[in-house]
Amino acid sequence: MEEEENRTKLARIVASAVLLVVAVVVQRTVELPMWGYLLAYLVPYLVAGYDVLAEAWEGVREGDPFDEDFLMAIATIGALAIGFLPGSDPEFAEAVFVMLFFQVGELFEDIAEDRSERSISHLMDIRPDVATVVRDGAEKVVSPADVRVGETIVVRPGERVPLDGVVLEGETSLDTMALTGESMPRPAGVGDELLSGCVNVSGVVRARVTKSFGESTASKVLDLVENASESKSRSEAFITRFARVYTPVVVFAAVATALVPPLVSGDFAASFPTWLARALTFLVVSCPCALVISVPLTFFGGLGGASRRGILVKGSNYLEALAKAGVVVFDKTGTLTKGEFKVVSVVSAAQAGEKDVAPATAAPAGASAAAPAGAAAPAGASDELLHFAAHVESFSNHPIATALREAFSCLDDGCEVADVHEVAGKGVVGTVNGHVVAVGNELLMQERGVACASAHERGTIVHVASDDAYLGYVVIADEPKPDARKAVADIKAEGVRRTVMLTGDRASVAESVASELGIDEVHAELLPQDKVSEVERLISEKGEGETLAFVGDGINDAPVLARADIGIAMGALGSDAAIDAADVVLMDDEPSKIAVAIRVARRTLRIARQNTVFAIAVKVAVLVLAFFGLASMWLAVFADVGVMVLAVLNATRALR
């Protein structure tokens, strides 16, 4: 619909320009009375500006007339009227040109901002359409809205959890990516909470419903996006704010110029025509053409310059908001980190230190005996550890299993793997070449009576034991993006005074990443509604005139992207919902582009201010001359069209 309106406006501009050429030809070749020329120019004038006149009239009727539409209307009508004053030359073409230029600027503004209104229908995927509920001893498939609090639901592997609840029977792993943005599944057993929107990965579970469908987590995520979009802070267009002051001052000054001097002179009838002509010249000079064209063009150039750097800004108002960013808030996974889990280190029992493992720990055949703490373990110990871990995990599609397999490239070495079974929420146990191998967390080691090392490293710790003898552990982590640290440093160099990270990941991992990247503040283990609450708090604490920018990539980030003053989404790998809810999209997922976007925005705003100061200074000077009768219509045209041309040329610098 918006694209169709833009095409219609473009057609009107082209039609008006053609009709203007026809009117000029008529004026120069055909002898007509003044009103005949007026009619010839009224046609292109009304084609271009009928909606501006309508908006101006509506503002007058509603008691709020002083905006750019009103000033455009009165200035162009004044230009049309000058030709009927004794001794004055007609300025009909000027009036049409002014209205045409105004509409071109409005068109550019509309094109730049159309993309800011996107559908977020992709989010509907996280809210299931059906639920399996147990009634009268039988399972029934119903709408989630029909399930009552306290009823029991059944969730099978591969199904999305339809309602919030507490597990009554069974154990499983939950893919919480849709809510937390974290790709590492989380274990869930009896007594643990199930959140709607999660995907059941492995086991069948029965759960007691604790919240109605409308109050479920998935529903709240959707509602948060809608409500946040409505309450989103949007800066008014720069020129509109200026016009609210400029327009009434100019109008009242023109009226005063036409009436006060004749009244003071004592010969109103004789002097009024002279002062009325000056007042109308005053209005032509005051026409905000340079502002209403150059300022939108400057922002439009900034948008184009940013897009060439892989930064999509959905409107000029977002550029202005981005230029004032004083607080930048980051999501972690997929934003500052790669979102891909890799084995970052392999630590044998010897390297972990004898004090952290059981005294009876024995190494498997081929591995070296324990070494003193901190000593370098032989390659054989690490190789054997990875060998066992990768083979036991060879049949799993769990992210941990994938990372282990990728770290060990010789899975086709003929080893015999048998009796592999998952211990829900703890790990995997299997037999490799006759050795019973356990791969999992500390709970699995405790269950099998194996004393494991106390690891304090960033990432997920996977312990490995063979025949109940501790071998060591593997550290699996989501690595920061190569330019993440530089991104944070560059953002601070641009004048951003506070950087914050919000994540659904564990506190220890989040704090480690924040420390490594130089982020000032971190809040971990957050759900989407928690992130929105944190952003609300940060918005309330920001400085006067500052804006808050949030950078995220997942579906779970959509509500907070919409609530922030300026939402920045990682585009290439980010979810559709996050991209739709954001105001700025980094198309190549490089966080270092955030500083570039801020720099482009601030340069654009600086050029817009230069144009504003230049246009106002010239116009004020010519207005003073017009008041004393020292400014001819040619000088008035320069103060309008000439300043506009110079301002537009300056605006094109924003493209570079």
Q: How far is CA 247 from CA 68, 258, 281, 315, in A?
A: 7, 17, 15, 25
Exposure letters 568-596 (e unless 16+ CB within 10 A, then b): bbbbeebbbbbbbbbbbbbbebbbbbbbb
Pair of tokens at residue 505: 């990941």
pLDDT exceeds 60 at position 37: yes
Where, residue-wise, is CATH 2.70.150.10 in the chain? 124-230
Of the chain, the percentage scoring pLDDT greater than 70 comes to 78
pLDDT value of position 122? 44
Long-range pairs, 243-249, Cβ under 8 A, ≥24: 243/66, 243/67, 243/68, 243/71, 243/288, 244/66, 244/67, 246/71, 246/288, 246/616, 247/66, 247/67, 247/68, 247/70, 247/71, 248/66
Please, which pLDDT band fits residue 209 given cuts at 50, 70 and 90? Answer: very high
Q: Which CATH number fits domain 339-479: 3.10.20.30, 3.40.190.150, 3.40.1110.10, 3.40.50.720?
A: 3.40.1110.10
Residues of the chain with CATH 3.40.50.1000: 312-337+481-597
- Helices 92-114 and 316-323 cross at an angle (nearest 10°) of 70
Can you give the pTM of this predicted structure? 0.58
Helix (H, G, I), strand (E, B) or coil at 472: strand
State pLDDT tens for residues 2-28. Answer: 677 778 888 999 999 999 999 999 988
Helix (H, G, I), strand (E, B) or coil at 185: coil
Q: Specify which residues 186 forms β-bridges with.
A: 174
Residue pLDDT, tens place only, 74-103: 777 877 876 776 656 677 887 788 788 777
Q: Inform me whether the pLDDT recorded for 640 exceeds 80.
A: no
Q: How many angstroms separate the CA atoms of 53 and 40, rounded?
A: 18
The predicted-structure confidence for 509-563, as pLDDT tens digits, reads as follows 888 888 989 999 999 888 778 888 999 999 999 888 899 999 987 666 778 888 8
Please give the DSSP secondary-structure letter assigned to residue 236: P
pLDDT in tens, 577-635: 666 677 887 867 788 889 999 999 999 888 888 888 888 888 788 778 777 777 665 56
Q: Is 544 exposed, middle or buried (0-12, 13-18, 19+ CB in 10 A)?
A: exposed
CATH of domain 124-230: 2.70.150.10
- Active site residue ranges: 331
Tell me the β-bridge partners of 466: 437, 469
108: helix, coil or strand?
Answer: helix
Fold topology of 312-337+481-597: Rossmann fold (3.40.50)
Average pLDDT value for residue range 260-286: 77
* CB neighbour class for 362 (10 Å; exposed up to 12, middle 13-18, buried from 19): middle
Identify the H or E element spanning 471: strand 469-480
Q: Is the pLDDT assigned to residue 242 strictly greater than 70?
A: no
Residue 243: predicted pLDDT: 60
Instruction: CATH 3.40.1110.10 in the chain: give the residue spans.
Output: 339-479
The beta strands (E) that lie in 184-250 are given as 186-188, 193-194, 199-200, 205-209
* pLDDT for residue 168 is more than 90: yes
Could you give the CA distance from residue 645 to residue 649 in angstroms, rounded to a whole number? 6
Task: Work out the pLDDT band at 329, boundaries 50, 70, 90.
Answer: very high
User: What is the secondary structure of 356-390 as a DSSP string?
Assistant: GS-TT--PPTTPPPP--TTPPPPHHHHHHHHHHHH
Confidence of residue 436 (pLDDT cuts 50, 70, 90): very high
